[in-house]
Structure 1
Amino acid sequence: MHSARASVIFRGLRKDTLPVIRRRRGARRESPFRVRGVACQQGRREGTLFPDVVGRGAEEIAVTLRRTDDLCIGAVVPRTGRLARLGDPLAFALERLAPRLARPGRGNRRRTFRLAWRDSQSDPDGARRAVAELVRDEGARMVVTLGGTRVLPAVADACEVLGIPCLSTGFPWQAYVFGRGGDPARPFRWTYHFAWGLDDIATVFAELWEHLGPGRTVGCLWNTGPQGQLLRDPRHGFAPVAAARGHTLVDPGGYREPATCFEGHVHRFKEAGVEVVTGAATAGDMALFHRQAREAGLRPRLITCSRWLTHPGEGGVPDGLAEADVATLVYWTPRHPFRSSLDGTTTAGLAEEYQRTTGRPWLQPLGLAHALLEVAAHALATADDPMDRHAVAAALGRTRLATVAGLLDFTAGPTPNIALVPLIGGQWRSGRRRGHELTLVTNARLPKVAPNAELSVGP
Structure 2
Amino acid sequence: MQQQPTDASPHTARRSDAPLTIGVVAPRSGRLAKLGDPLMFAMGLLRSRLRHVRNQGRGYELRLVSRDSRSEPEAARRATEELIRHERADVIVTLAGTRVLPAVADTCEELHTPCVTSTFPWQVYYFGRGATRDRPFRWTYHFCWGLDDIASVFADMWERVGPGRTVGCLWNDGPQGNWTRHQEEGFLPVATARGHTLVDPPGYREPATDFDRHITAFLHDGVEIVTSAATAADLALFHRQAVQRDLRPRLITCSRWLAYPVGATGADDPAEAKVASLVYWTPRHPYRSSLDGMRADELADCYEELTGAQWLQPLGPAYALFEVAVHALATADDPTDRQAVAAAIARTRLETMAGPLDWTTGPVANVATVRLTGGQWKRGDGYPHELAVVTNSGCPDVRLDGDLELLN
**1:353 counterpart = 2:302:** yes
Evaluate the alpha carbon distance shift between residue 293 and residue 313 of structure 1 in structure 2; reply closer, same or farther with a 3 A threshold: closer
- The answer to whether residue 331 in structure 2 is matched with residue 382 in structure 1 is yes
Structure 2 unpaired stretches of 5+: none
* Residue 340 of structure 1 pairs with residue 297 of structure 2: no
Residue 35 of structure 2 corresponds to which residue in structure 1? 86
Aligned counterpart, 2:256? 307
Segment of structure 1 superposing worse, 424-433 or 139-148:
424-433
CA gap of 1:445–1:48, structure 2 versus 1, over 3 A, is same
User: Aligned partners of 1:47, 1:154: CA distance in 2, in Å?
Assistant: 21
Residues 365 and 335 of structure 1, relative CA distance in 2, 3 Å threshold: same
Q: Which runs of 5+ in 1 are unaligned?
A: 1-31, 33-41, 50-62
Amino acid in structure 2 at the alignment position of 1:87: G
Secondary structure at the counterpart of residue 413 of structure 1: coil
Q: How many residues align?
A: 406
Q: Which of 313, 317, 330 is matched with 1:368 structurally?
A: 317
TM-score by length of 1: 0.84
For residues 329 and 60 of structure 2, the distance between their equivalents in structure 1, rounded to whole angstroms, comes to 9
Deviations for 1:123-163, whole angstroms, at most 9, x for unmatched residues? 11111111111112211100111110000000000000000
Aligned twin of 2:384 = 435
1:424-450 Cα offsets, whole Å, 9 max, x none, are 000011223322111110110111111
> Is the counterpart of residue 100 in structure 1 residue 100 in structure 2?
no
Please tell me whether the aligned partners of residues 25 and 94 of structure 2 are also in contact (alpha carbons under 8 angstroms). Answer: yes
Bigger relative contact order, structure 1 or 2, given CA contacts below 8 A and separation 6+? 2
Q: CA RMSD, aligned part only?
A: 2.2
Partner residue in 2 for 1:425: 374
Counterpart selection for 1:182 from 108, 131, 144: 131
Question: C-alpha distance in 2, partners of 1:121/1:203?
Answer: 34
Counterpart residue number, 2:118: 169
Quickly say closer, same or farther: Cα 1:140–1:289, change in 2 above 3 A. Answer: same
Give the Å deviation of 1:406: 0.5
Query: Aligned AA for 2:208?
Result: A
* 8 A Cα contact 1:48 1:161, kept in partner: no
What residue is the counterpart of 2:177 in the other structure?
A: 228
Partner Cα separation in structure 1 for residue 266 and residue 95 of structure 2: 22
Question: Residues 2-56 of structure 1, C-alpha deviation per residue, up to 9 Å, x if partnerless?
Answer: xxxxxxxxxxxxxxxxxxxxxxxxxxxxxx9xxxxxxxxx99977678xxxxxxx
Task: Give 1:110 deviation, angstroms.
Answer: 4.6
User: Deviation per CA, 1:277-322, whole angstroms, max 9, x where unpaired?
Assistant: 0010111111111111111111111100012334214569973334
Structure 1 or 2, whichever has the larger Rg, is: 1
Match of 1:199 among 148, 155, 160: 148
Sequence identity (%): 60
**Counterpart check, 1:74 vs 2:17:** no
What letter matches 2:351 in structure 1?
A: A
Q: 1:186-335, aligned counterparts within 5 Å?
A: 186-313=135-262, 319-335=268-284
TM-score normalised to structure 2 length = 0.95
Q: Are the aligned partners of 2:320 and 2:354 in contact in 1 as well (CA < 8 Å)? A: yes
- 1:108–1:382 CA contact under 8 A, matched in 2: no
Cα separation, 1, equivalents of 2:341 and 2:49: 21
What CA distance in whole angstroms lies between the structure 1 residues aligned with 2:324 and 2:8?
Answer: 24
Q: CA 1:332/1:317 → structure 2, altered by over 3 Å: closer, same or farther?
A: farther
